Structure 1
Amino acid sequence: MRLMLAARPFRCVMAIAVVLLVTACGGRPPGVLVPVQAPDVPGTSKVSMIVATTRAKATTTTDMFSGERGKAPSFAEITVSLPPDAARQVGEVQWPRSVPGNPATDFVVTDAQDLSMPQAQAWLNRDVAKRPKHRVLVFIHGYNNRFDDAVFRFAQIVHDSGADVTPILFTWPSRGSLLAYGYDRESAVYSRDALETLLTALNKDPAVGEISVLAHSMGNWVTFEALRQMAIRNGRVLPKIKNIMLAAPDVDVDIFNSQWQDLGTPSPNVTIFVSQDDKALRVSQRVWGSRARLGQIDPEQEPFRSEFEARKINVYDLTKLNTPDGLNHGKFAESPEVVRMIGGRIAAQSTITDSREGVGDRIVQVTQGAASAVGQAAGVVIAAPVAVVDSNTRDNLSSQVENLGGTVSSTVHSTTNMMTTPPSQ
């Protein structure tokens, strides 16, 4: 009987995973990363990024990197063209229906080159010299992300946020499959040394002024593991790391507390975005038997409120923010204007204290009223993290989710990978 009861949450998760898999079936055409040889279309925008990865090279000529683990770090430079703003919804990625895509309506790659490590560093130094305060933004994607998923989503983040930063995509070997959670989870564990190495190298680079890190879902676990190791190795988190942004963190609260104890002082500016109606994190809580996941807690309740105040952590509670996302795990993706507002406040190292928007100096309740004032904010540093599922599947999925008990599996996003050698002290 006990075995049968214990198996129920797992069966529920697997059933929902199958629903997700079937719902998302349409797929995307292979070869979207092959550069498009087409004239520039008026109104398009381009985002160039450095890619650092421990994914293995793809066995095809169209995909660049696979979901398998590489034995040595690899680097690349990729430029993504985005359609004119009038032809797209902010927060969405327009995937080509066939290749080559149409720059007037689709996200397309216009340049993609493998780089050596010295070439990647030279590219970084040239680009960062053009940025205010020589800022870089490191994005760490989540579970169930193919390489092309991560590239196109990060391009969308950089463009829609208006972030004037040098973009660095830190991508780890996720197989991009809803049912490959175990493999992705172990890849996340495998990746913490690599992320520490990348952040340490950026901190040591004299051309880099400030480092911001944006992690989504389980990527937050890898991020804090890397920061914890860095702090143990160096006595503190390295000083150029100014902002750590944890979006919908799929991290056990007790593990987070343990990680925090080792960060040392002074610590970076840490901001957490939570939502108590996050159905993806609800599933994660069941899978892991967790007391609570950090991204779903009520920050106004004890002991969380006192802990956040003592640690000077800013918390944005998005529970009252309504978006089309039926899972409530990708609210940033559905409300990019709100994220631009928050990003601008973070970049200014201030918090929202307006009584209409917030309930305290460090715990901020973001509501529809706050969203209406978004246009006044200058967005820097942060934007919509990876949506749980593609936007064209969310509407169909939400009703099926409710029929299956209101929880959704496989939205527990894992994270990060890049260089395999831990940094020296």
Structure 2
Amino acid sequence: MPMSFDASNLRLRMFATLFFLLPCILVPAACSSGRGLVGELPAGTETAASPIEQNNSLDLLYVTNRAPAASANDELSYTSFRGHSLSFGSVTLARERLRFHDGPAVQPDASLHISRTTKLGEFPKSPYPIELTRQGPRRVPATVDAHIRAAAGLQGEVTRRLAMAKRKEVVIFVHGYNNSFDDAAKATGKICNTLSAEFVCVSLSWPAGGSGGAFYGYNIDRESGEFAVSDLKKAIRIISGTDGVKRLHLIAHSRGADVLISALQQLGMEAYATRSSPTERYKISNVVLFAPDIDLDVATTKLFGFVSDPDAPFGAKATPYGLLPPIGSLHLTVYSSPNDKALALSSGLFGSVVRLGRLTSASISSKEAGSNALWRNSQLSGIADFIEYRGSAGFAGHSYFLSDSAVQKDLRALLRDRLKAGDPGRQLVEIKRPFWRVLSRNSRLSH
């Protein structure tokens, strides 16, 4: 059916907006988990004559399938290109406190920068090769041996860090679109500081930041995210299997939410087929999605599609009328904002009725989304909370998970203090369960 003149004009205006605004909406402010957000200085601050005092540093574990590159001084760095082997190591973030000539004040949120990146191990190139024997095809034994050594090395590093951590729990952060390796590490450091550095913190970095400009670069990153799912699943499986890990908490932002949900879908299928659950098999306790850039229907299908299928094998055979495995401590928390301009553009680009990162109690009760299974299943099982952010975090309203202190405090209350929505200590106002609104200074000013 041909487009009407008005609809055609609307579509043209939308793509014109995408073309001109994506560089400033999706690159520095929207899906950039670190750029300009960690330790950002107030506008107009003069820093030319400011002495820098090196304070203590923060050491994180990184896991990445980015291609490596050596810098001019031979220091290790990682690119936006896809690597075909999963690497892991240590990334050290130095904290800097800045003093200014016009006063003795020290920045309350110290800036973080990458001071050193050290690779500790690497898995074989994937997909792993298969060889044909007289008995049939099998994995190449030498490759399997190399995988086992790498997995033991990664688990050994997690064990070492657990011994020094106050909590025997691991927090993994998955970044969004157009983030560099350094961006991801800085954002992970910010989250780790928010949690008082009590957990083992892991930056799980996939090859985002591809060239091609804002528009084509988004599509490149989208496919790179799909490419990364298998390695992300592998990393979660190995880390969760480390002796001494009590709980695993998974956090993702924007495009990274789609990558994480896809990996969780596959891990959930693995667990269900072995008559287990993600909590029991992989120790997954919290899944936190900030401004998730994924279609609501797609997210619902990935989260609930397999387990709701009566023909899905539960062990040796399907059990259509049997009880599902117990959920345990698994809990999903989704932070969304109707003011998120980046996701509004993404919704228009992909034709979404609702982007999960813009989901609100009002939109879920509309005719378009009111019958959605994500809301029904979450309400019935109590496994999810949807937290609305009504503030204005920057130009695009997409970076509030790093820039708004109320959101950071709520994350700390959720993971560190283990408080539920509605408990004292969570700055939330109930809308209609499972929907809540986070109380922040920005949101109060906007009402």
SS of aligned partner of 2:187: helix
Please show how residues 254-293 of structure 1 align to structure 2 within 5 Å. 254-261=297-304, 262=306, 265-267=325-327, 268-293=330-355
Corresponding residue number in structure 2 for 1:308: 378
Name the aligned partner's letter for residue 248 of structure 1.
A
Name the aligned partner's letter for residue 78 of structure 1.
V
SS of aligned partner of 1:129: helix
Does the 8 Å CA contact 2:158/2:242 hold for their aligned counterparts? Answer: no
Q: 1:145 to 1:250 in 2, by over 3 A?
A: same
Corresponding residue number in structure 2 for 1:195: 232
Does the 8 Å CA contact 2:406/2:439 hold for their aligned counterparts? Answer: no
Q: Do residues 12 (structure 1) and 25 (structure 2) align?
A: no
Q: Do residues 122 (structure 1) and 156 (structure 2) align?
A: yes
Shift of 1:4: 5.6
Name the aligned partner's letter for residue 46 of structure 1.
S
Q: Do residues 74 (structure 1) and 81 (structure 2) align?
A: no
Q: Do residues 367 (structure 1) and 367 (structure 2) align?
A: no
Name the aligned partner's letter for residue 17 of structure 2.
C
Q: 1:183 to 1:78 in 2, by over 3 A?
A: same
Q: Do residues 228 (structure 1) and 247 (structure 2) align?
A: no
Q: 1:345 to 1:233 in 2, by over 3 A?
A: closer
Does the 8 Å CA contact 2:225/2:259 hold for their aligned counterparts? Answer: yes
Shift of 1:51: 1.0
Point out the structure with the larger strand share: 2
Q: Do residues 154 (structure 1) and 191 (structure 2) align?
A: no
Corresponding residue number in structure 1 for 2:218: 181
Deviates more, 1:301-310 or 1:354-363: 354-363
**Structural RMSD (CA):** 3.0
Corresponding residue number in structure 1 for 2:361: 299
Does the 8 Å CA contact 2:63/2:204 hold for their aligned counterparts? Answer: yes
Taking structure 2 as the reference length, the TM-score comes to: 0.69
Shift of 1:310: 1.9
Q: 1:368 to 1:121 in 2, by over 3 A?
A: closer
2: distance between equivalents of 1:269 and 1:137? 14
Please show how residues 318-333 of structure 1 align to structure 2 within 5 Å. 318-319=389-390, 322-333=391-402
Q: 1:288 to 1:231 in 2, by over 3 A?
A: same
Name the aligned partner's letter for residue 51 of structure 1.
Y
1: distance between equivalents of 2:270 and 2:406? 38
SS of aligned partner of 2:64: strand
2: distance between equivalents of 1:42 and 1:153? 21
1: distance between equivalents of 2:241 and 2:227? 23
Q: Deviations over 1:332-353 (max 9, x none)?
A: 2221343223431344141125
Q: 1:257 to 1:19 in 2, by over 3 A?
A: closer
Name the aligned partner's letter for residue 237 of structure 1.
P
SS of aligned partner of 1:164: coil
Does the 8 Å CA contact 1:356/1:369 hold for their aligned counterparts? Answer: no
Q: Percent identity?
A: 23
Shift of 1:212: 0.3
Please show how residues 95-106 of structure 1 align to structure 2 within 5 Å. none
Q: Do residues 358 (structure 1) and 430 (structure 2) align?
A: yes
SS of aligned partner of 1:55: strand
Corresponding residue number in structure 2 for 1:241: 284
Q: Deviations over 1:115-147 (max 9, x none)?
A: 113444322111112334410110000000111
Structure 2: stretches of 5+ with no match in the other structure = 30-34, 36-51, 99-104, 122-149, 308-323
Shift of 1:9: 2.6
Deviates more, 1:304-313 or 1:161-170: 304-313
Shift of 1:238: 4.4
Q: Deviations over 1:98-124 (max 9, x none)?
A: xxxxxxxxx333432111134443221
Q: 1:339 to 1:74 in 2, by over 3 A?
A: same
- How many residue pairs end up in the alignment? 341
Does the 8 Å CA contact 1:200/1:238 hold for their aligned counterparts? Answer: no
SS of aligned partner of 1:79: strand
Partner of residue 54 from structure 1, selected from 52, 55, 65: 65
Structure 1: stretches of 5+ with no match in the other structure = 29-40, 95-106, 373-425
Shift of 1:195: 1.2
Does the 8 Å CA contact 1:136/1:166 hold for their aligned counterparts? Answer: yes
Q: 1:353 to 1:73 in 2, by over 3 A?
A: closer
Q: 1:64 to 1:127 in 2, by over 3 A?
A: same
Name the aligned partner's letter for residue 126 of structure 1.
R
Does the 8 Å CA contact 2:162/2:168 hold for their aligned counterparts? Answer: yes
2: distance between equivalents of 1:353 and 1:202? 31
Q: Deviations over 1:280-321 (max 9, x none)?
A: 1100100000111011111354236544312421111112xx
SS of aligned partner of 2:431: coil
SS of aligned partner of 2:409: helix
Shift of 1:206: 1.3
SS of aligned partner of 2:361: coil
2: distance between equivalents of 1:21 and 1:227? 25
Q: Deviations over 1:219-262 (max 9, x none)?
A: 11111111111111220324211000011111111111111223
Does the 8 Å CA contact 2:54/2:94 hold for their aligned counterparts? Answer: no
Partner of residue 170 from structure 1, selected from 204, 212, 218: 204
Corresponding residue number in structure 1 for 2:144: none
2: distance between equivalents of 1:255 and 1:22? 24
Taking structure 1 as the reference length, the TM-score comes to: 0.72
Q: Deviations over 1:34-71 (max 9, x none)?
A: xxxxxxx8782321111111111115334511111112
